[in-house]
């Protein structure tokens, strides 16, 4: 398991899918454009395409938007997801 970690990322939204089980959970596919380590290891590398999720009732962004967010990697060497918080639209 990844130790506690947090990064500030800028990413392009490639895909959005709402969870079938939880209406406030959204699955995302992102392309990392920039990543700044805050604490722990930095698992978000520029150029990577990653899976992520966020918990919120509705989204303030859409596919192809550029967003910034705080990202925590949850997983291990075999894969995982980034949990996103404080998401803001950087560029439409």
Of 84, 6, 75, give the one whose Cα is nearest residue 39: 6
Q: The whole model's pTM is what? A: 0.92
Band (73; pLDDT cuts 50, 70, 90): very high
What is the distance between the terminal CA atoms of the chain, rounded to a whole angstrom?
Answer: 34
85, containing H or E segment: strand 79-91
Band (90; pLDDT cuts 50, 70, 90): confident
- Residue 26 to residues 42, 62, 89: CA-CA distances in angstroms? 23, 12, 16
Q: What is the pLDDT of residues 18-65, one digit of tens each?
A: 999 999 999 999 999 999 999 998 888 999 999 999 999 999 999 999
The mean pLDDT of 5-25, rounded to a whole number, is 97
Q: What is the pLDDT of residue 26?
A: 98
């Amino acid at each position: 398991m990844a130790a506690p970690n947090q990064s500030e990322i800028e990413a392009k939204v490639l895909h959005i899918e709402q969870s079938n089980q939880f209406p406030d959970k959204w699955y995302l596919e992102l392309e990392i454009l920039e990543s700044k380590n805050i604490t722990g290891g930095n698992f978000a590398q520029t150029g990577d395409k990653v899976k992520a999720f966020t918990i919120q009732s509705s989204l303030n962004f859409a596919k192809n938007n550029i967003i910034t967010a705080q990202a925590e990697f949850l997983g291990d060497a075999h894969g995982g997801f980034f949990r996103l918080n404080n998401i803001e639209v950087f560029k439409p």
